[in-house]
Structure 1
Amino acid sequence: MAISSSQQNSLSLVRQEIAAIAGYIPGEQPQDAGWTKLNTNENPYSPSGNVSKAIAVACEGRTLAKYPDPFANQFRKQAADVLGVRPDMILCGNGSDDLLTILVRCYVGVGDAMRVPTPSYILYQTLADIQGVLCDKVAFTDEWLLPESFTAPNASTGEPVRLVVVPNPNSPSGTLLAPEHLLDLAEQLPCPLVVDEAYGDFSESNCLELVEKSDRIIVTRSMSKSYALAGIRFGFAVAQPAVIEQLAKVKDSYNCDAIAIAAATAAIADQDWLRKNQGSIRTTRARLATQLRQFGFSVVDSQANFVWCTHSKYSHKEIYESLRERSILIRFMSYSGWGDGLRITVGTDAEIDVLLGALDTIMREKK
């Protein structure tokens, strides 16, 4: 379709930083039935039964006719009790992506640089682009560790970076950096260190205790993965109160709706459900990794609800496409200078059986 002169004039008014980028490209979300969906790291189980009850209560009376609590204090109090922190150390957001946006807004100005490891969450680059800042990506080592150069000034500006974000566990690898290593990193950096713990509830350790030790460390968490609430969008950050006070200045006015607040509060209160879910995911994760290795894949030991695997003989893109033809979705991911591979969400045992059965057929066809 041809673009009219009026449309061209309108497009010319868009900020150059926005016009030049593609934006964040999410994983496939098919709306029709019949798919085995293992591509976007959603929890394969329904959330705590208390969630639907809380949502029903939130829909009663005039709750939805009124603006929600702008600071989601109901959730802050419950989460503080569960996590062993104070309520004023928590800031809530419309998913942890909202918190990441707030952090970039707060700390990084136009022309400044932020730093992230690569391969990691591709949204970091998008957030930097939107803000008009440099996203300085430093490659992990072959062992998925941070190199010594990670604390160096930005090569382009010669200036220290203004914000560092480290996903822990990392995606796509599922690997975990030790909390003591990240505390040491924070002490070497001239800026805040954000530890993105979107998958933290599936790992053996986390960095919440580090927040008490350093006002440079901010931990972000998601309710989408471990609490099975990807559909409502709710996340939170944990930091020292003075840091939370500054972050709150740049959040949207009412960034968490009443239904999301009620659902998230009920979910985090049900720690028995969480422990059962963690056990199921970890058990299935181990079985999936074992079976993939029997098919000849190299599988990185994961601390998340997914596994990252590569195959030395066969095309990852072809494996992905062959599975898609069978209505099975996994994530084919390619990174400049790093190569490509397959990220597979840990589903139910039945879903993993479907995947493994299809892989068995595909591998036999390739021999």
Structure 2
Amino acid sequence: MIKDVTRFVPPYILSRCAYSPGYQPANHKDLIKLNTNENPFPPSPTVSDAVQNEISNLHLYPEPYSQKLRDLIASKHSLSEEQVIIGNGSDDLLNLCVRAFADTNRMVGMLEPSYSLYPTLTSLQRSKVSKVEFLNDEFKLPVEEITKSGVNLFFLTNPHAPSGRYFDQESVFSIASEINAILVVDEAYADFSIENSIPLLDKANNLVITRTLSKSYSLAGSRVGFAISSPEIISILDSVREVYNLDRMSQAAAFAALSDVHYFEDCRRKILEEREKAYTFFTQLGWRTIESHANFILTEPINATGQVGKKSASSLFNYLEKNNIHVRYFHNHRLTESKIRISIGTERQMNALYQTINKWCNEES
């Protein structure tokens, strides 16, 4: 028997940090889950039939290019199918971007704080990460710092996570025009915002836009995403993509969900309505709250004695958890340590959240 198998592992693998996802409970009964920005509504009713119809075909490999999905997405966004690639969640597409455009000599850039998966993916390519810090917790876009970052690939999350801040398209185009790099605009939350970067594709051939069906289409458990760009970049990403990277049932589920426009719009409307109620609730409490363009909201709790900061945020986070309400607390960064992030849930879930927060405010006194 070999005593220590780690001696077979390259040092850069042993030294890297794995991504830590939000808490996923084994049992959802009697629990309100508002911590990982999932859609609180089930997928379109058409998804169930579409998935069931594929079960008898599971002995066959899936269509390797997810061609029907490429054609549908291209049609929805007035693009050619050569401008679309499908992935196993948008994380798969982000990984392909790092695989194609980063190495030991080509750095990756990102905003800080932002999606913590970016450094994880970068480390697998033995590349270095350049983190562009926000000036303060208003999370205004540091355009000049990004364009001068000297990287080969830059990840820009818009709307931004974890703040929910929307960056205007004029600023995004300015970055795409001035940066000497591939710009990936991660639009995981774009369906909850007022605009997106798709119109910029005709003006910026270094632009890649990634999307996920986890948030607005209720398919987090199915893992489907897509990227759109120039045919040249899509061809490069296709060349480093795993074969059969999306299974039959996920392809069928995604096609059904994307085709049911009425259901999508109805769920989106409900989430936006609850998001507006949440913003009103927190601002009336006097809590500093960013006007979100995503399906979550970031707010800075104030306890009954008027205190804000890490202690108050941690206290509320733990209090909610004890009451079976799970939210997200990013305690490891100076711009987020005094805040909590709350995914937008159903009306019932959000009302339960507000009642519990009011109890916390009273008990803290």
For the superposition of Structure 1 and Structure 2, which TM-score range results when normalised by the shorter chain? over 0.9
The equivalent of 1:20 in structure 2 is 15
- CA drift at 1:215: 1.0
- Name the CA distance, whole Å, in 1 between partners of 2:106 and 2:9: 21
Q: Answer yes or no: is the 8 Å Cα contact 2:301–2:316 preserved in 1.
A: no
Change (3 A) 1:337 1:36: closer
Q: How does 1:151-170 map to 2 (within 5 A)?
A: 151-153=147-149, 160-170=150-160
The equivalent of 2:96 in structure 1 is 102
Confirm or deny that 1:362 pairs with 2:360.
yes
- CA drift at 1:83: 1.7
- Name the CA distance, whole Å, in 1 between partners of 2:207 and 2:129: 19
Which residue, 93, 104, 126 being the options, matches 2:120?
Answer: 126
Give structure 2 stretches of 5+ with no counterpart.
none
Which residue, 57, 60, 70 being the options, matches 2:64?
Answer: 70
Q: How does 1:248-263 map to 2 (within 5 A)?
A: 248-263=238-253
Q: Answer yes or no: is the 8 Å Cα contact 1:295–1:360 preserved in 2.
A: no
Q: Answer yes or no: is the 8 Å Cα contact 2:146–2:179 preserved in 1.
A: no
Which residue, 72, 77, 83 being the options, matches 1:83?
Answer: 77
TM-score (norm 2): 0.94
TM-score (norm 1): 0.94
- CA drift at 1:296: 3.1
Q: Answer yes or no: is the 8 Å Cα contact 1:174–1:308 preserved in 2.
A: yes
The equivalent of 1:342 in structure 2 is 340
- Name the CA distance, whole Å, in 2 between partners of 1:308 and 1:20: 32
- Name the CA distance, whole Å, in 2 between partners of 1:120 and 1:30: 24
Residues 310-341 of structure 1 deviation map (CA, whole Å, 9 limit, x = unaligned): 13514211110010001110001134343412
Confirm or deny that 1:219 pairs with 2:209.
yes
The equivalent of 1:330 in structure 2 is 327
Q: Answer yes or no: is the 8 Å Cα contact 2:106–2:152 preserved in 1.
A: yes
| Equivalent position SS for 2:299 | strand
- Name the CA distance, whole Å, in 2 between partners of 1:265 and 1:230: 15
Root-mean-square deviation over aligned CA pairs? 1.4
- CA drift at 1:219: 0.2
The equivalent of 1:269 in structure 2 is 259
Q: Answer yes or no: is the 8 Å Cα contact 1:93–1:99 preserved in 2.
A: yes
Change (3 A) 1:7 1:322: farther
| Equivalent position SS for 1:6 | coil
Residues 145-197 of structure 1 deviation map (CA, whole Å, 9 limit, x = unaligned): 222222224xxxxxx31100100001100011111211111111111100000
For 2:55, give the aligned amino acid.
C
For 1:140, give the aligned amino acid.
F
| Equivalent position SS for 1:331 | coil
- Name the CA distance, whole Å, in 2 between partners of 1:108 and 1:237: 18
For 1:343, give the aligned amino acid.
R
The equivalent of 1:56 in structure 2 is 52
- Name the CA distance, whole Å, in 2 between partners of 1:355 and 1:111: 48
| Equivalent position SS for 1:262 | helix
- Name the CA distance, whole Å, in 1 between partners of 2:323 and 2:331: 22
For 2:50, give the aligned amino acid.
A
For 1:190, give the aligned amino acid.
N
The equivalent of 1:40 in structure 2 is 36
The equivalent of 1:156 in structure 2 is none
Q: Answer yes or no: is the 8 Å Cα contact 2:182–2:207 preserved in 1.
A: yes
- Name the CA distance, whole Å, in 2 between partners of 1:237 and 1:280: 26
For 2:183, give the aligned amino acid.
L
- Name the CA distance, whole Å, in 2 between partners of 1:366 and 1:133: 46
Q: Answer yes or no: is the 8 Å Cα contact 1:310–1:342 preserved in 2.
A: yes
Confirm or deny that 1:11 pairs with 2:22.
no
- Name the CA distance, whole Å, in 2 between partners of 1:223 and 1:162: 27
- Name the CA distance, whole Å, in 2 between partners of 1:77 and 1:302: 32
Q: Answer yes or no: is the 8 Å Cα contact 2:301–2:340 preserved in 1.
A: no
| Equivalent position SS for 2:330 | strand
The equivalent of 1:145 in structure 2 is 140
